[in-house]
Amino acid sequence: MEHVWDFQTVFASWSLLSQGLFNTLKLGLLTLITGLFFGFFVGLGRYSRSSWVNFPAGVFVEVFRNTPALVQIMWFYFAFPIISPFDIDTFAAAALGLGLNTTAFCAEIFRGGIQSIHRGQWEAGKALGMTYREQVLRIILPQAVVRMIPAFMNRVVELMKMTSLASVIAFGELMHQAKTISTYHFNPIESYTVAALLFFLVISPFAFLVYHLENRFRK
The residue type found at 132 is Y
The model's pLDDT over 143-191, given as tens digits with 9 standing for 90+, comes to: 888 888 888 988 999 999 999 999 999 999 999 999 999 999 888 999 9
- Number of domains observed in the structure of the chain: 1
Which range of residues forms the domain containing residue 59?
A: 24-171
Flag whether 111 is in a domain.
yes
Flag whether 14 is in a domain.
no
Flag whether 10 is in a domain.
no
The model's pLDDT over 62-84, given as tens digits with 9 standing for 90+, comes to: 999 999 999 999 999 999 999 99
Flag whether 186 is in a domain.
no
Flag whether 48 is in a domain.
yes
CATH code of the domain in which 77 resides: 1.10.3720.10
The model's pLDDT over 24-37, given as tens digits with 9 standing for 90+, comes to: 999 999 999 999 99
What's the rounded Cα separation, in Å, for the pair 55 and 92? 28
Flag whether 138 is in a domain.
yes
Nearest to 151 by CA among 115, 114, 113, 117: 113
Task: Please classify residue 119 by burial: count the beta carbons closer than 10 Å to its beta carbon, then call 0-12 exposed, 13-18 middle and 19+ buried.
Answer: exposed
Flag whether 178 is in a domain.
no
Flag whether 194 is in a domain.
no
